[in-house]
Amino acid sequence: MTRSSNNRPPLVTLITIALIGVLVGTLLTSYILGRRYVRLARSHEVVVRHDVSGSGSWYKLDMILDIVAQKYVDEVDPEEVTDAALSAALLSLDPHSVYMPPVELDEAESQLAGDFEGIGIQFNVPNDTATVLEVISGGPSEKAGLLPGDRILKVDERAIAGKRFPQDSMVRLMKGPSGTRVTLTIDRQGTVFPVEIKRGKIPLHSVDASFMINDRTGYIRLSKFSMSTYRDFVEAFGPLLESGMQKLIIDLRDNVGGYMDQAIYLAQELLPAGEMIVYTEGRKFPREEIHSEGKGRLQDVELVVLINEFSASASEILAGAVQDNDRGLIVGRRSFGKGLVQEPVYFTDGSGIRLTVARYYTPSGRCIQKPFTDDYEYEAYDRYNLGGEAYSGEGLTVDSTQAYKTRLGRTVYGGGAIIPDIIVPVDTTRATQFYIACNRKSTQMRYAAWVFDKHPKALAAIDSYPAMDRFLESLDLPSAFPAFARNRDGIELKEGEWAETAPYLLPQLRALIARYSKLGENAFYKYYLEIDDVLKKAIDAPPIAQ
CATH number at residue 149: 2.30.42.10
**Are 270 and 344 within one domain?**
yes
Given a cut of 70, whether residue 126 has pLDDT beyond it is no
Facing residues of 21 across strands? none
CA–CA gap between residue 541 and residue 320 (Å, rounded): 18
**Are 413 and 449 within one domain?**
no
CA–CA gap between residue 154 and residue 160 (Å, rounded): 5
**Are 253 and 369 within one domain?**
yes
Given a cut of 60, whether residue 12 has pLDDT beyond it is no
As for how many domains the chain has, the answer is: 4
**Are 376 and 514 within one domain?**
no
With a CB cutoff of 8 Å and minimum separation 6, the contacts of 112 are 224, 226, 227, 258, 259
Instruction: Report whether 274 contacts 261 (CB < 8 A).
Output: no
Q: What is the mean pLDDT of residues 70-74?
A: 90
Within a domain: 97: no
CA–CA gap between residue 390 and residue 381 (Å, rounded): 9
- Per-residue pLDDT, 218: 98
Within a domain: 101: no
Query: Mean pLDDT over all residues of the chain?
Result: 83
| Helix H or strand E segment including 202 | strand 200-203
End-to-end CA distance of the chain: 67
- For the CA atoms of 248, 254, 260, 263, what is the dihedral angle to 10 degrees? 0
Given a cut of 50, whether residue 269 has pLDDT beyond it is yes
Asked which of 426, 460, 492 is the last residue of a domain, the reply is 426
CA–CA gap between residue 357 and residue 264 (Å, rounded): 19
**Are 294 and 273 within one domain?**
yes
Given a cut of 70, whether residue 362 has pLDDT beyond it is yes
Angle made by CA atoms 7, 9, 12, in degrees to the nearest 5: 145
Within a domain: 2: no
- For the CA atoms of 126, 130, 131, 136, what is the dihedral angle to 10 degrees? 130
DSSP string, 241-289: HHTT--EEEEE-TT---B-HHHHHHHHHHHSPTT-EEEEEE-SSS--EE
Q: Is 138 exposed, middle or buried (0-12, 13-18, 19+ CB in 10 A)?
A: exposed
**Are 59 and 139 within one domain?**
no
CA–CA gap between residue 114 and residue 432 (Å, rounded): 40
Within a domain: 444: yes
Asked which of 368, 396, 426 is the last residue of a domain, the reply is 426
Segment among 1-15, 348-362, 468-482 with least mean pLDDT: 1-15
Grade residue 327 by pLDDT with cuts at 50, 70 and 90: very high
Instruction: Report whether 305 contacts 318 (CB < 8 A).
Output: yes
- Per-residue pLDDT, 462: 95
CA–CA gap between residue 520 and residue 321 (Å, rounded): 32
pLDDT, one tens digit per residue, over 420-455 is: 999 998 887 788 999 999 988 778 988 998 898 899
Catalytic residue among 97, 226, 228, 313: 313
Within a domain: 67: yes
**Are 366 and 464 within one domain?**
no
**Are 235 and 164 within one domain?**
no
**Are 384 and 474 within one domain?**
no
3-state secondary structure of 182: strand
Look at residues 296, 283, 302, 418 and name the one whose alpha carbon lies nearest to residue 364.
418
- Length of the chain equals 546
Distance of CA 128 to the CA centre of its chain: 24
Catalytic residue among 62, 83, 251, 324: 324
CATH number at residue 412: 3.90.226.10
Radius of gyration (C-alpha) of the chain in whole angstroms: 28
Within a domain: 40: yes
pLDDT, one tens digit per residue, over 451-491 is: 988 998 899 899 999 999 999 999 999 999 999 999 988 99
Grade residue 374 by pLDDT with cuts at 50, 70 and 90: confident
Q: Is residue 324 flagged as an active site residue?
A: yes
**Are 238 and 324 within one domain?**
yes
Grade residue 156 by pLDDT with cuts at 50, 70 and 90: very high
Asked which of 426, 459, 477 is the last residue of a domain, the reply is 426
Within a domain: 515: yes
In 314-422, where does DSSP find H-type helix? 314-324, 379-382, 389-392
Whole-Å CA distances, 128 to 205, 269, 280, 442, 451: 27, 44, 47, 11, 17
Q: Is residue 106 flagged as an active site residue?
A: no
**Are 365 and 483 within one domain?**
no
Look at residues 421, 244, 229, 428 and name the one whose alpha carbon lies nearest to residue 324.
421
Within a domain: 542: no
**Are 272 and 212 within one domain?**
yes
Catalytic residue among 224, 247, 338, 526: 338
Q: Is residue 243 flagged as an active site residue?
A: no
pTM for the full predicted model: 0.76
Containing structural domain, residue 192: 115-203
pLDDT, one tens digit per residue, over 376-405 is: 877 877 787 766 777 766 657 778 889 999
CA–CA gap between residue 475 and residue 24 (Å, rounded): 65
